Amino acid sequence: MLTQEENDLLTHVGPGTPMGEVFRRFWLPVATLDELPAPDCDPIRTRILGEDLVGFRDSNGKVGFVEPFCPHRRAPLFFGRNEECGLRCVYHGWKFDVQGNCVDMPSEPPDSNFKDKVHLKAYPVRQYGPLFWIYMGPPDKMPELPRLEVMEQPNAVTTKWLQEANYMQALEGNIDTAHVSYLHRVFDFEKDGTGIRNAVREVADNDVHPRLQVMETDYGFAYGGRRQAANGDYYWRVTQWLLPTHSMIPSPNWIPAGSIWVPIDDYHSYRHLTSAGRRAGRPMLPTHKEQFTLRDGTIIDALIGDRNRSNLYQMKREDQRTVNYTGIQVIATQDQAMVEGMGYICDRTREHLGTSDAAVIAARRRLLKTAHDLQRGIEPFAATHPEVYRVRPLDIVSRESEIGKLLNEHAEWVNGRVPTEARP
């Protein structure tokens, strides 16, 4: 349970807020390559950390994310013409490059140098894997991109979709191994389109009380959920949580993968789910693009899951009785239904947490500490040490009952020093 003050600090991410400043110390995914697919393609409207931006790809293929209004008379640049290495405002023709520089001001006399004094706010952008990343913090604090294994796979694919809830409750669902035994339970694997009959599901169905252990790290933490397996063995699922909001859940057949939860504002977030291997070549969740109206009336160009709040996630009560525990198809959509059902910002002052919430508690404490440290001038270590992100999750059947012994024994997997094909 958190106090109201703690919950506010944890969930508010706009400019000038303590948690917003934490996020601004890290590179964050802002768009997929498909959203800005080619030079001079259509601009997009987006919001990140409570700031509205327009993204565009110029004639040379360079990508920029700039403030959304022309500094002349505040006309919306989303309606601008993306042409000849710049975004031109259709109101009076002022034109800006991806760095926010005004490169043409046809409404002024030819000998005027006024354009050299006008500048749009623009943020550094990098392509990394199948995503464009943005850095919104102080220029002198800009770090290198995090070294994420999945982003460096040549066959990596990503799915991005909007969730109508604060980033934190979405993240918490991804570091909660206990809910697998219920929310994702399947009764009829033939009728359930996403059900996979494997050791994970069998053990999770039989042992619904995982014993959690959390190990703090420089980048966040690793936590293990231990369930009883056959013959006195333990089945471990070791999930990685990396600051600020990146999680890696293990799979029986190792596939580099991970989810990053990026706040749009206090009330909405994007999930970027990236994977390589067997999922390559097809989306991991059906989505469609539409103009989505945020809670305050702002319109963004959003990617929406085909199963969402507006259609009750295509829930079928009869399927809930006979096919799976929720009557909702797709594991990610089952998570989304729970997250959005809590409201835009979950009231954590009324929670009653148990032993299976150890990882959720650890993430809250770490984020709050990081925010307090930054207010005291202590920069987040992980932000400036991209190498600490070279980690992997782990799932394994073992006789070991302590996570420390387990991770020491299998450190070569967790630290990514063994090739994928060598993993049993």
Q: Which CATH number does the domain housing residue 109 bear?
A: 2.102.10.10
What's the total number of domains in the chain? 2
Full residue range of the structural domain in which residue 386 is found: 149-422
The mean pLDDT value for 201-216 works out to: 81
CATH number of the domain at 349, please.
3.90.380.10
Mean pLDDT of the chain: 90
SS3 370: helix
SS3 257: strand
Q: Of the candidates 112, 141, 170, which is a domain's last residue?
A: 141
Confidence (pLDDT) at 208: 82
Has residue 370 been placed in a domain? yes
303, amino acid identity: L
- Check whether residue 187 and residue 293 sit in a common domain: yes
- Check whether residue 293 and residue 198 sit in a common domain: yes
Has residue 17 been placed in a domain? no
The mean pLDDT value for 292-300 works out to: 97
Of the candidate ranges 125-129, 156-160, 195-199, 413-417, the one whose mean pLDDT is the lowest: 413-417
- Check whether residue 206 and residue 116 sit in a common domain: no
The helix (H) or strand (E) run that includes residue 259 is strand 257-263
Confidence (pLDDT) at 253: 63
246 or 205, greater pLDDT = 246
Question: Is pLDDT above 50 for 242?
Answer: yes
CA distance 83 to 81: 6
CA distance 135 to 330: 32
Residues 6 or more apart whose Cβ sits within 8 Å of residue 30: 46, 48, 53, 55, 65, 125, 131, 132, 133, 134, 262
Band of pLDDT at residue 413, cut at 50, 70 and 90: very low
The mean pLDDT value for 249-271 works out to: 88
Other C-beta atoms closer than 10 Å to the C-beta of 401 total 12
Question: Is pLDDT above 80 for 240?
Answer: yes
User: Can you say whether residue 330 is alpha, beta or left, with left for phi > 0 and alpha for psi between -120 and 50 degrees?
Assistant: left
Question: Is pLDDT above 60 for 279?
Answer: no
The mean pLDDT value for 393-417 works out to: 67
Dihedral sign of CA atoms 422, 223, 263, 95 in order: negative
Confidence (pLDDT) at 414: 47
The mean pLDDT value for 160-184 works out to: 94
421, amino acid identity: E
- Check whether residue 214 and residue 324 sit in a common domain: yes
Confidence (pLDDT) at 283: 61
- Check whether residue 103 and residue 202 sit in a common domain: no
**What is the maximum span of the chain, computed from C-alpha positions, in angstroms?**
85
The mean pLDDT value for 36-44 works out to: 98
